[in-house]
Structure 1
Amino acid sequence: MQTTNIEVLGKAISLGKGLQINLDIAKLHTRTKIEVPIIIERAKKPGPTILITGGIHGDEINGVEIVRQIVAKGYNKPQKGMVICIPVVNIFGFISQTRQFPDGRDLNRVFPGTKRGSLASIFAYHLMKEIVPLADYCLDFHTGGANRFNAAQIRINQGDAESLELAKVFGAPFIIKSKRREKSYRDSAIKLGKKVLLYEGGKSLDLDRSITKTGLNGALNVMHHLGMRDFSKELKKSVKAKIKPAIIVEKSKWIRASYSGIFRTAVVLGKLYNKGDKIGSISDPFGYFERDVKAPNNGYVFCKNHAPIVNKGDAIIHMTIEE
C-alpha cells in the first residue's frame, strides 16, 4: 500500500497524479526501439496497488481489449490506491500477431528473467524489477492458445484462501485451482508475495464480446471489493440475472482425439455432461468413416478445440471430473 511519493522508471508519481511512461528495454534487429506503454493512475488517498496486464502473448487479443476498455472508460482512475495498466506487454508479438517474442521465445516461460540473457529474458527481468514490486494485486488477462476456446475462467494458486475469495468476487463462471508453471509470470509474481488472478477466455487472434465483458466486469468487481473505487453503478448496469456461484475445478481432464480426421464438436461451454454423452464426432473427408466422441466421465466442459482438422492425440475438449 503506497502512502508516499514513488518513482517508476525514473518518473516521480505523487498522490493524485497519473501519467504514461514507456518501457523501452529491447530493440529489434533493425535497431528500431519499440516502446511498451505503462499507464499509471494514482488517487489522492492511499490504498492498494493493482497491476493489470494483457498481451503477454502477442496473439491474445481479448486480454488486450479488456485492459484497453479499462483505460478508455476511465475505470483505471481510482479513489484510493494506484492502478497500473499495461494493455500490451508483448508489443513485439502483438505487432506481428504472434505468441512469441522476436527471439522466438515464449515470454511467459522466461520469468523472472535475467539481466544478460535472451531478449525475452531481459525484458522479463526489467518488468519484474521495475514494475511488479509496486503491486499488491495482479490481474493478468489471457486467452486459450491457438484454436482452443476457453470458457471465462480464473486460475489461482492452490491453497491460497485470499486468492480464492478474490476469484469468487471476480465473477467468472469457472475457478480453476491450477499448479503454478515454473518460470511463468504468475509463478514469479506469487514468489514476490503478490496475489495473482489469471483470467483465461476465448482463443488467440479472436475478439469475443462475451469474454471481454466478463473480464472487464471482473476487474471492476475486484477493484470495488478492494475499496479502490465505487463501481456500483457500472456493475448494476451489467447484471441482467442473478449471478450463479462459480464452478470450482479441483480435477480436470483433456479428451484427446482417438483418430485423425474432421472434428465436429457438439458441446456447449459451461454445460454439465454425463459419462457416455456424445460430445462430438470425427470422420474422414470421404464419407466412409465416422466415430462419435463420448464423455469419459461426468463433468462440465470449459474448453473446446475449434480446429476442424485434428490428428490422433490432439487435445479437443477439456472438462472437469465430477464425482
Structure 2
Amino acid sequence: MSEKDVLEILGKKVALGESANVSFNVAKLHTQNRIDVPVIIERSKKPGPTVLITAGIHGDEVNGVEIVRQIISKGINKPKKGTIICVPVINVFGFIHMDREFPDGRDLNRVFPGIQGGSLASRVAFKLVTEILPHANLVMDFHTGGADRFNAAQIRIMKGEKNLDELAKIFGAPFVLYSKNINKSFRKTCYNLGIPALLFEGGKSFHINSTITNTGVNGAKRVLHHLGMLRSKFKVSKPKKNCVYVLNSKWIRARYSGMFKSTVSINSVVKKGDVLGHITDPYGSFNHAVKAPNNGYIFNINESPIIYQGDAIFHISTRLKYDEV
C-alpha cells in the first residue's frame, strides 16, 4: 500500500475503503471534563478528491449543524470515490451553551489561522488549519444568519474565482453573493492556502428551518455528484429556480426604535418605494413605513419584534451580475 493510499489525520491512519471517527481536544472545561471535537472520516476504495464539510464555527448556528448531521445520517458522506471529512460542530464549547462565541469571548471566525499557544478559540483554529484543512481539495462550510436575521439560502464567494463560480452554480442555492474574504476568517485562510471554499448561509440562529436544510443538503449532493463522489443510490434534482448573482448589496437600517413587522417575505423581488415593513410603538400613536430604496431582491430579514434605531432590518441587492430586476 503506497503512502498516498493512507490518510493520517490527528494521529489516526485511515486507508482507502476505511472509515474512522476521531476527535481533537485542545482544552478541558473548568470542571476538568474533556470537550472533544468529533471528526467523521469516510474513504472510498477508489482514490479521488478530499472534501471537507464543516459547520458550527459559531455555536448558535444550529441550522448549519443540522445540514451536516443529515449528510452523515443519510450516508451522503460515504463517497463513491475519494474522501469526505465531516466536522459537524467545530465550536463545541459554544454549541453546548448555544452561544456564538467561545468561552473566552472570542469569535472563532475572526482568529484564523490561529496560534498553537494562543487563546482557546485560537488553539481550535490552529488545530483545524494544521491537522485537518491541509488534506482538503474543497471545503463546504455551512453557516446560519445571526441576531434574529433570517438569511435566504445563499453561497458566498469572491469575485473572479472561476472554479468557485462553477461550483456555486452547481450547488444551486437561490442566491450567490459575491463578498470579500473577511480578515482572519476560515474562508480567508482557505483562500490563502489555495483551497477552494463554498460558504453557505441560510436561516437564523437557534432555529432549524426545513427549507434551508433541504437546500443545503441538496446543494452538497449536487457538488459531490459533479465531482463523481456521490453514490448512485442518491437522486440529484435540479434547482427549482436559477441562481441570482448579487454583485453588490446594502443593509436597510431602522430610522426609529420600536416594534417591527416585515410585510415582505424572504427572496422577494421589490421595486423602489415598495413598503417592506412597519415600525410602530406599543401605544398606537406611531407608524413608520419602511420602503425599498431601490429595485432588488430581499435576501435577509430581521425577524426580531423589537428593534432599535440603526439596527439592520433588510439586506437588499443593489447590483446583479445579470439584469434580472
Q: TM-score scaled to structure 2, two decimals?
A: 0.95
Aligned equivalents of 1:231 and 1:203: distance in 2?
Answer: 33
2:247 counterpart (247, 250, 275): 250
* Cα distance between partner residues in 2 of 1:303 and 1:11: 42
Q: Are residues 1:288 and 2:285 paired?
A: yes
Q: Name the counterpart of 1:184.
A: 185
Query: Separation in 1 of the partners of 2:106 and 2:116?
Result: 16
The 5 A counterparts of 1:14-29 are: 14-29=15-30
Report the CA distance between 1:3 and its aligned residue.
4.0
Structure 2 equivalent of residue 234 of structure 1 = 235
Report the Cα offset of residue 244 of structure 1.
1.7
Q: Is 1:130 aligned to 2:131, yes or no?
A: yes
Instruction: Give yes or no for contact 1:114–1:122 (8 Å, CA) kept in 2.
Output: yes
- Quote the residue 1:90 is aligned against: 91
User: 1:263 corresponds to which letter in structure 2?
Assistant: F
User: Aligned match of 2:312 in 305, 315, 319?
Assistant: 315
TM-fit CA distance, 1:233: 4.2
- Deviation of 1:230 after TM superposition, in Å, equals 3.8
Contact 1:153 1:175 in 2 (8 A): yes
* Unmatched 5+ stretches in structure 2: none
Contact 1:28 1:102 in 2 (8 A): no
**Which residue identity does 1:162 align to in structure 2?**
N
* Secondary structure, aligned partner of 2:35: coil
Q: Which ranges of 4 or more aligned residues in structure 1 deviate by more than 4 Å?
A: none
Retained in 2: the 8 A contact 1:55–1:63? Answer: yes
The answer to whether the 8 Å contact 1:18/1:40 transfers is yes
Q: The residue matched to 1:127 in structure 2 has which SS?
A: helix
Q: 2:75 maps to which residue?
A: 74
Name the residue aligned to 2:156.
155
How much has 1:207 moved relative to structure 2?
A: 0.6
CA–CA separation in structure 2 for the residues paired with 1:194 and 1:29: 36
Q: Distance in 2 between matches of 1:69 and 1:157?
A: 27
Residues 1-53 of structure 1 deviation map (CA, whole Å, 9 limit, x = unaligned): x9421211111111110110011122222222111110000111111100000
User: How many angstroms apart in 2 are the aligned matches of 1:314 and 1:69?
Assistant: 34
Q: Report what 2:222 is aligned to.
A: 221
The separation in 2 between residues aligned to 1:115 and 1:205, in whole angstroms, is: 31
Distance 2:318 2:222 in 1: 29
Q: Percent identity?
A: 55
- Specify the code of the residue in structure 2 equivalent to 1:45: K
C-alpha separation in 2, matches of 1:203 and 1:310: 16
CA spacing shift, 1:178–1:232, aligned 2, 3 Å: farther
Q: Alpha-carbon deviation of 1:235?
A: 2.1
Aligned AA (1:126) = K
Say whether the 8 Å CA contact 1:26–1:123 is kept in structure 2: no
User: Following the alignment from structure 2 to structure 1, what is the Cα–Cα distance between the partners of residues 126 and 32?
Assistant: 20
SS at match of 2:288: strand
Which whole-Å deviations, capped at 9, do the CAs of 1:164-207 have from their partners, x for residues lacking one? 11000001000001010000011111111111000000000001
The equivalent of 1:198 in structure 2 is: 199
Superposed displacement of residue 231, structure 1: 4.9
- Counterpart position of 1:174: 175
Aligned residue among 265, 271, 274 for 1:274: 271
Report the Cα distance in structure 2 between the residues aligned to 1:66 and 1:273, rounded to whole angstroms. Answer: 30
Distance 2:90 2:24 in 1: 10
Change (3 A) 1:233 1:124: closer
1:234 deviates by 2.4
Tell me which amino acid in the other structure corresponds to 2:14. Answer: I
* Count of residue correspondences: 318
Mapped to 1, the partners of 2:288 and 2:182 lie a distance apart of: 35
Q: Which runs of 5+ in 1 are unaligned?
A: none
